[in-house]
Structure 1
Amino acid sequence: MLRTLIMIAIMAAITYALRVLPITLIRKKVKSPYLNAFLNYVPFAILGALTIPDVFYSTKDTASAILGTIVALIFAYFGRGLLTVTIAAIVTVLLYGFLF
């Protein structure tokens, strides 16, 4: 039990340090336009890296997941809202599951 608490405390300290150190060490605004552009895309890249694998393994049939993803991308490309995109993808996957 004590070992588990020590491990949790160490993980909490590391997590806290990783969040606080960049704020305390880097106080100036980033002047490089290339670095600034790179940093602007980091959240989208991380979100994509976290969600894309789950999309393809969320159903038993990979074809339905791919079809749902394509429909979601098409709806998002044409500027539909998040709720509309989500509902369209879910309905597509359900219809594919019922038909095939």
Structure 2
Amino acid sequence: MLDFAPSFFLYLLVMAGVTYLVRMLPMVLFRRKIENRYIRSFLYYMPYSVLSVMTVPAIFYSTGHITSAAVGFLTALILALKRKSLITVAAFAAIAVLLAEIAIVYIPVAII
């Protein structure tokens, strides 16, 4: 049987409490509609900003070479701007990264 340390349950309880507070406090503190357009704009764009800040570095450090990561990123960006489906964008970006990695590893670059 698994032997959990008592501190594990303390950590779990603290994590649950913090998660609950983060979700509950905005509803308790801001009962009225926020009328300041700058704050509303800030709150509207915040999820997109946080998601971008977490995702973009992961894209460029997820492969063996930054060149292949850039190829995959550009492929995904172009297909997304052309309004292709998510599965199409993901599949073609993965294929582009694979081909770029193969090209980097197996095709020697002549140094002049």
TM-score by length of 2: 0.80
Which aligned segments of 4 or more residues in structure 1 are displaced greater than 3 angstroms? Answer: none
Residue among 31, 34, 42 paired with 1:30: 34
Q: Deviations over 1:60-97 (max 9, x none)?
A: 11110011101111111222222221112111111112
Say whether 1:47 aligns with 2:55.
no
RMSD over aligned CA atoms reads: 1.4
**Does residue 93 of the first structure (1) align with residue 97 of the second (2)?**
yes
Q: How many residues align?
A: 100
Q: CA deviation at 1:99?
A: 2.2
| AA of the residue aligned to 1:91 | I
- State the TM-score, normalizing by the size of structure 1: 0.88
- Higher mean C-alpha deviation, range 63-72 or range 27-36: 27-36
Unmatched segments (≥5 aa) in structure 1? none
Partners of 2:87 and 2:10 in 1: CA distance: 43
Report the structure number with the largest CA radius of gyration.
Answer: 2
Report the CA distance between 1:2 and its aligned residue: 1.8
Counterpart-to-counterpart distance in 2, 1:4 and 1:51: 29
Unaligned runs of 5+ in 2: 105-112
